[in-house]
Chains A and B, each alone.
Chain A
Amino acid sequence: MPKHSLAEQLDTLIDSVIAAPRGQSLSGENNELIPFVPVARVLHNLPRPDFKQILKSDLLRMEPMKDDAAVPTPTHVRPSFVRPGFNNIAPYIVVDGATDFIAFLQAAFEGAERIRMPRPDGKVMHAQVDIGNSAVEVGDVSAEHPARPCTVHLYAGSADQTYALALKAGATSIYPVADQPWGDRQGCVKDEFGNVWYIAMPNGWDPGPEGVRNIQPFLHLRNASSMIPFLQEAFEAEVLGMAKSDEGELLHSTVKIGVGTVEINEAHGDAQPMPSYLHVYVPDVDDLYGRALKAGAQSVESPSTKPYGERSAAVRDPFGNTWYLATYLEGAKK
């Protein structure tokens, strides 16, 4: 008879525990396996992976109703859940060569480096580059975080000039700047790191006194229309605009989450899905994390308070994008 490995014997033992968790039918086991029996019996009662967080989210939603008089609403205690200067959903772009990528953002888009935190090996652990009124975050690849390029809609003062600067800085043209039927003057480039940039400016429409966000992530998805209800349920997203084809295909939608916006459409031609890292500030991380799990997201990181004054968590949506949710805690103290 072939000798079974310890891993195989353990699996047989686990079958016995699952079949009779409190039974005594585990005699005759390999002595090496006996210490595993109590562990397996305990694991048989393990709660579902999301249960702890979902219950916490339910409790947090319940408490203001129980104590309205004593507990101010979040808007009173937290006038700003967004880190100052952060006005958009930031694409978190992980590249091999973050220093060169930051130089590209500076040369092509007049990016202003705000934060750079080095790793011990000299690579970039985390950086923030502001482009106009918006932020792009950057990090070097690591074993845990492989390269993640992103598709970005970039509004510039002059699409033509910015497009030219991007090419000069090493990007490749996907299509040149031209007046587009939807009312933008727009061209498209791909940088040397694999990111796609729609470089646009309003053409014949007035963005109003607030102007446009200079940076918006753009998600090309398969079965994109199903992303909308997910974002509404998970992140309390507000749909600012949506256009569908006669066949129901999502042609374009702009969705607001927190103070930022993300654009979504059905993947087509060269515009294919690029699962991205996205960083968004929300009023209550714990609440939205719980909602997101209920809506079908996978947990990447459960909520925790960070030493830099934020509470944050991360979830992966059904399309493979990772959303880093953050609440700026210092705003509540002001």
Chain B
Amino acid sequence: MNKDFRGEGLPAINQTVDERVLVEAAQKDVRRFADLYELYFYRVYAYVSTRVKNREESEDITSEVFHRALIKIKTFEWRDVPFSAWLFRIAANSIVDHWRKIRHQENASASDLENAQVSDADIERQAAIFQLVESLPEDQRQVVHLRFVEQKTIREIAQQIRRSEGAVKQLQFRALKKLRTQMEGADA
């Protein structure tokens, strides 16, 4: 993983957290899988969402990835690749399965996906932004979710949260400015 693209909110791997310790703990006691989930959720989601069309598919496939990983965690063996590579392999297979099932693209394969033009740095950057949204002030976070997830207009959001349209635009501006600034800080 390229640490240059890690935002403040995204837990570092192999730095503040010992990935290997977490994996071995989860292999001994599957309840500890929750720690791995926290570390990798946004990275897996980012990996998936850059390769499929919409949020619903991204969420379905991300769910599939973690369910598969939980079932298979005891079979994971260290082979000089990061644990994330194992998760991304499961993700790639899950995406291909999804394509075959939904779109009947029988010729798709996991290796095609891994050749896609999405770098590790892009995954880290996107995961960091997702994580940083969690740390925004409540009102800014709410506006970001309503605008981007529910795709409501400024007017609709203003009515829902009982603020003026100008105030909602300012909240949106401040939220994106903060995300941009933090990402630029991480990039520096």
Q: Chain A interface (Cβ within 8 Å of chain B)? A: 5-8, 10-11, 14, 18, 35-36, 38-40, 42-49, 51-52, 55-56, 58-60, 62-63, 66-67, 70-71, 286, 302
User: Are B34 and A42 in touch, CB under 8 angstroms?
Assistant: no
Q: Taking the nearest CB of chain A, how far is it from the CB of B167, in angstroms?
A: 10
A311–B79 alpha-carbon span in the complex (Å): 35
Which 7 interchain pairs have the tightest Cβ spacing? A7-B173, A45-B49, A7-B169, A43-B148, A42-B129, A63-B30, A42-B126
B21 at the interface (CB under 8 A from A): no
User: Are A8 and B169 in touch, CB under 8 angstroms?
Assistant: yes
A45–B118 alpha-carbon span in the complex (Å): 15
Asked whether A10 and B41 contact (CB < 8 A) given A39-B179, A63-B31, A67-B30, the answer is: no
Which chain B positions have C-beta within 8 A of A7? 166, 169-170, 172-173
Q: Of B41, B125, B184, which contacts A52 at CB under 8 A?
A: B41
A52–B134 alpha-carbon span in the complex (Å): 11
CB-defined A-B contacts under 8 Å, sample of 28: A6-B173, A10-B169, A11-B169, A11-B172, A18-B148, A35-B184, A36-B177, A38-B125, A39-B129, A39-B176, A39-B179, A39-B180, A40-B176, A43-B176, A45-B55, A46-B130, A46-B133, A48-B145, A48-B149, A56-B38, A56-B41, A59-B33, A59-B37, A62-B70, A63-B70, A70-B29, A70-B30, A71-B31
B20-40 interface code vs A (CB 8 A; 1 in, 0 out): 000000000111011001100
Which chain A positions have C-beta within 8 A of B58? 45, 47
Interface size on B, residues (CB 8 A): 47
Q: Taking the nearest CB of chain A, how far is it from the CB of B87, in angstroms?
A: 14
The chain B residue with its CB closest to the CB of A18 is B151
Which chain A positions have C-beta within 8 A of B169? 5, 7-8, 10-11
A7–B147 alpha-carbon span in the complex (Å): 14
B107-143 interface code vs A (CB 8 A; 1 in, 0 out): 0000000000000000001100110011000000100
A39–B66 alpha-carbon span in the complex (Å): 26
A49–B142 alpha-carbon span in the complex (Å): 9
Which chain A positions have C-beta within 8 A of B176? 10, 36, 39-40, 43
B63 at the interface (CB under 8 A from A): yes
A254–B33 alpha-carbon span in the complex (Å): 37
User: Are B126 and A45 in touch, CB under 8 angstroms?
Assistant: yes
Identify whether the interface residues of A are mostly helix, strand, loop, or mixed: helix
Q: Of B41, B134, B144, which contacts A43 at CB under 8 A?
A: B144
Identify whether the interface residues of B are mostly helix, strand, loop, or mixed: helix
Which chain B positions have C-beta within 8 A of A62? 67, 70
Q: Chain B interface (Cβ within 8 Å of chain A)? A: 29-31, 33-34, 37-38, 41-42, 45-46, 49-50, 55, 58-59, 62-63, 66-67, 70-71, 125-126, 129-130, 133-134, 141, 144-145, 147-149, 151, 154, 166, 169-170, 172-173, 176-177, 179-180, 183-184
User: Are B71 and A55 in touch, CB under 8 angstroms?
Assistant: no
User: Are A11 and B66 in touch, CB under 8 angstroms?
Assistant: no
Which chain B positions have C-beta within 8 A of A48? 55, 59, 145, 149
Q: Taking the nearest CB of chain B, how far is it from the CB of A202, in angstroms?
A: 43
User: Are A10 and B172 in touch, CB under 8 angstroms?
Assistant: yes
Which chain A positions have C-beta within 8 A of B29? 70-71
Q: A51-B59, A59-B67 given; name 20 further pairs at CB < 8 Å.
A: A7-B169, A14-B148, A35-B180, A42-B129, A43-B176, A45-B58, A45-B126, A46-B130, A46-B149, A47-B130, A48-B59, A48-B145, A52-B42, A59-B34, A59-B70, A62-B67, A63-B33, A66-B70, A66-B71, A286-B34
